[in-house]
Structure 1
Amino acid sequence: MTRLRCGGIILGFAIHHYAFDGRGGSLFIKTISAFARGDIGTIPALFFDRSLLQARSPPSVSFDHTNYSPKVYQSKGQANTSSQVVCSNLTLTKEQIHSLKIHAGGERVSTFRAVVAHMWKCTCIARGLASDVETQLNIPVDLRGRFKPPLPTTYFGNPTLRTEAVAKVEDLVSNTLEFGANLIQKAVANITDEFGRSLIDHLESTDLEALCKVGAMSNTSLTVVSWLSFPMYDADFGWGEPILMARADMYGSGYAYLSRVPAIDGGISAIVGLEPDCMQCFKSIFYEEIEALRPTSCNIHVT
């Protein structure tokens, strides 16, 4: 805990993904904030039963899970060996999000799909990737509501897996946002109860230690984590609602996190980590492309 001269307070938490995922972490913080206020009666108890994520006996791997192979994961693209990463916090208003949605397929498209399709496209341009290169978008998917029966919403563990959307840079950059948004939709739609159970069985016979030491992500990849539905700003320790909740550091280049911005009605924040020589270009393209999507108005005079 750090006390600021202005009277503000910063609370820092360290978590391990072996224990729980981002949703579990946000529920944990919300729970201890209720204890701090003496308001424990309004908070549902966290659900700890790890047996719900046990491998089946005998295991039944019915899908190809090569993206959870250390060798395959390391072989994608050129490893980004730079230890330097620059982070920027980019905010989007409700109006800007609306513009992205319209060009990503309409209002039915989720905020996540529209914004991430835009980020993926801008990242490829900012990095100057060759048109014939294959680029990967990694998306963590929460399995709580995808299992049958679904896990409790208060499940405290890590039922999250990584899915992947893949495209040639030329196809992603030359097409509209709807192209990227559709790739994201297909990648997420593939994550079903059977897929999740199959992955658990696959991991039962996988060297998890090697999988967790794959090193730097390739320079053709982007990983975007959504915190948009997390109850992050409900964590009132008795001092009022938080002003900001964010990561204190970044895994490395090519990672981004989306979260709500209470101060901006309907707005969101995208915290992005990229190579230093790419960030300025990324920020410029990010907003210039959104501005170009806005409809132009014209005045018609009838005489």
Structure 2
Amino acid sequence: MKVNIGRSRLIKPIYQDNHPPKSHCIPLSVFDRVTYNQHLAVIYAYRPPTPPNITLELGLRTALGVYPEWAGRLGKDSNGNPIILLNGEGIRFVESSVDCALDKAIIFKPSSSLLRLHPSLEDVVELVQVQITRFTCGSMVVGFTAHHLVADGNSTSSFLVAWGQASRGLEISPLPFRDRTIFNPRNPPKFEFEHKGVEYVTKNLKQVYPLINCNVDNIMVHKVHYSVDFLSNLKAKTSPTYGNNNKTFSTFESIVAHLWRAINRARGLNGYETTRVRMSVDGRARLNPKVPNEYFGNLVLWAFASAKVNDLLTNPLPYAASLLHEAVVKINDNYFKSFIDFANHKVNEEDLVPNTTADTQESILWPNLEVDSWLRFPFYDLDFGKGGPHIFMPSFFPTEGMIFLVPSFIGDGSIDVFVPLFQQSLTIFKQICYSLD
């Protein structure tokens, strides 16, 4: 698929009220600082009729007036602390075209061709980039990239919804809650949990796993579609009484438990090796008092579940689900507040750095997994006036073991899972990914 790049330019916010002074800045919170220092990209596809580019541009500029952080730049204050400078320099807006119909472009499967549908993620100063690609059939693809230090998935999806509202001439609602100074440490601080080695690690400390014939170029991304019937059967299989507890596990816990076992079986790991799953946990509803869902920024920590491979594969499915459930439950109000205290008092003192396991320099998570669930985010609500997207998906992100869960575009409650594995592991995974034995 050849993508013809047309105009590429910076577009700036349209402010409804007085715009912030160019010298104004917002300090990054402790949750912003601990997340991925990189751009992430998503892909939208729309069937005709689609609005003209000028409509999308004006809507985007209006939304940026409400979310001026995206039009700013990352920097440091006079004390060397990371900030977002609200200088209004703008975001990258690219117009492009493809000389074929959307159905002929084969963008529905995860492959490196998706990288041509959004601007590069490397060495980018703009905090948001948008590429609008037109196809001969009248279809349109929107490639969107956003810097994770500015906002998490919840906030980014809210901004996208706002872009759609503004493009339709509607008032943006709800408005973002933008105060990043609310996460104050306690006095005296209480370090109730271990955060060193979890969210933070000592500089230059990196665990290396010996791999045989595992070249990064051999990583393939496979999309698995789990139907509503499969998910229902999976939950029934996952939730029978385990141990002394009659526990019903969530769809998320059930599907991750299933994937954890299937992927490690496909990897052929040593039975005595420890495998770990990292899952993001939103703190908005877990902190007391609760933080508004409209909070704009990052407010995520991670839960870790671990097991010996042999225990994971020989025990029934509820065993894996219970490990996941117990790990997530532990990330409660006390844990979030302990992290806030630790990040404010210990990180600089002990010269620690974020333990973000899947940045652009890390392509292999073996023998571990990371699961990013987008099941509750309103990504599908991005409507420019002609209806919602035909397809929504992450861009091509071949980090072995980094899994994305996305609601299927079918809209019936089914789920698509994007699974990057080494080619030799993927062959086995495809054979067992639907097996509930």
TM-score by length of 1: 0.88
Q: CA deviation at 1:59?
A: 3.6
For 1:256, the equivalent position in structure 2 comes to 403
Q: 1:74, CA displacement in angstroms?
A: 3.0
Cα 1:60–1:17 change in 2 (3 A) is farther
Q: Which has the higher contact order (CA 8 A, sep 6+)?
A: 1
Residue 86 in 1 paired to residue 217 in 2?
Answer: no
Superposition misfits of 4+ residues, deviation over 6 angstroms: none
Question: Is the radius of gyration larger for structure 1 or structure 2?
Answer: 2
Between 95-104 and 107-116, the greater mean CA deviation after superposition: 107-116
Q: Is the 8 A contact 1:78 1:219 kept in 2?
A: no
Deviation at 1:60, TM superposition (A): 2.8
Q: Counterparts of 1:100-249 in structure 2 under 5 Å?
A: 100-105=234-239, 108-204=248-344, 205-206=346-347, 207=351, 209=353, 211-212=355-356, 215-249=362-396
Q: Does 1:27 align with 2:174?
A: no
Q: Which amino acid aligns with 1:166?
A: S
2:293 and 2:186 mapped to 1: Cα distance? Answer: 22
Q: Structure 1: where are the runs of 5+ without partners?
A: 293-303
- With over 3 angstroms needed to count, the CA separation of the structure-2 counterparts of 1:276 and 1:70, relative to structure 1, is farther
- For structure 1, which segment, 65-74 or 48-57, has the greater mean C-alpha deviation from structure 2 after superposition? 65-74
Please say if residues 239 and 248 of structure 2, whose CA atoms lie closer than 8 Å, have aligned partners that are also in contact.
yes
Q: Is 1:44–2:191 an aligned residue pair?
A: no
Alignment RMSD: 2.3
| 1:77 positional shift | 4.6
Q: Deviations over 1:141-167 (max 9, x none)?
A: 111100001110111111001110000
Alpha carbons 1:141, 1:162 under 8 Å: kept: yes
Deviations 1:270-302 (A, max 9, x none): 011112221121121102x13x5xxxxxxxxxx
Once residues 208 and 193 of structure 1 are traced to their aligned partners in structure 2, the CA distance between those partners, rounded to angstroms, is 23
Does 2:190 correspond to 1:60?
yes
Partner secondary structure for residue 230 of structure 1: coil
Amino acid at match of 1:136: R
AA at the equivalent of 2:331: I
Measured at CA, do residues 208 and 26 of structure 1 come closer, stay the same or move farther in structure 2, by a change above 3 Å? farther
Match of 1:278 in 2: 425
Give 1:75's match in structure 2, choosing from 185, 193, 207.
207
For residues 230 and 12 of structure 1, the distance between their equivalents in structure 2, rounded to whole angstroms, comes to 18
Judged with a 3 Å threshold, the aligned counterparts in structure 2 of structure 1 residues 79 and 28 are, in CA distance, closer, same or farther, namely farther
Offset, 1:251: 5.8
Shift of 1:240: 1.1
CA distance in 2, matches of 1:197, 1:217: 31
Task: Give 1:34 shift.
Answer: 0.6
Conserved? CA contact 2:202–2:353, under 8 Å: no
How far apart in 2 are the matches of 1:138 and 1:268?
Answer: 20
Residue 194 to residue 129, structure 1, CA distance change in 2 (3 Å): same
Residues 210 and 175 from structure 1, CA distance in 2 versus in 1: closer, same or farther, beyond 3 angstroms?
closer
Name the CA shift for 1:140/1:251 in 2 (closer, same or farther; >3 Å).
farther
Q: Which segment is superposed worse, 208-217 or 26-35?
A: 208-217
| 1:169 CA drift (Å) | 0.3
Alignment check: 8 A CA contact 1:79 1:216 kept:
no
Classify the secondary structure of the residue corresponding to 2:424.
helix
| Cα distance in 2 between the residues matched to 1:10 and 1:56 | 47
Whether the aligned pair in 2 keeps the contact of 1:78 and 1:218 (CA below 8 Å) is no
1:60 aligns to what SS in structure 2? coil
1: distance between equivalents of 2:276 and 2:161?
A: 34
Contact map agreement 1:103 1:176 (CA 8 A) in 2: no
**1:269 and 2:399 are equivalent in the alignment:** no
Which stretch of the first structure deviates more once superposed, 231-240 or 195-204? 195-204
SS, match of residue 272 in structure 1: strand
Instruction: Please give the secondary structure, in 1, of the residue aligned with 2:144.
Output: coil
Residue 215 (structure 1) shift: 3.7
Give 1:64 shift: 0.8
**Farther-moved stretch of structure 1 (190-199 vs 54-63):** 54-63
The alpha-carbon distance between structure 1 residues 128 and 269, as it changes in their structure 2 partners (threshold 3 A), is: same
Letter aligned with residue 86 of structure 1:
M
What percent identity do the matched residue pairs reach? 32
**Does structure 1 residue 17 correspond to structure 2 residue 145?**
no
- 277 and 203 in structure 1: CA distance in 2 versus 1, 3 angstrom threshold: farther
Q: Supply the distance in 2 between the matched residues of 1:200 and 1:55 (Cα, whole angstroms).
A: 6
Distance in 1 separating the partners of 2:147 and 2:168: 26
Q: Supply the distance in 2 between the matched residues of 1:263 and 1:117 (Cα, whole angstroms).
A: 24
Comparing 23-32 with 53-62, greater Cα deviation is found at 53-62
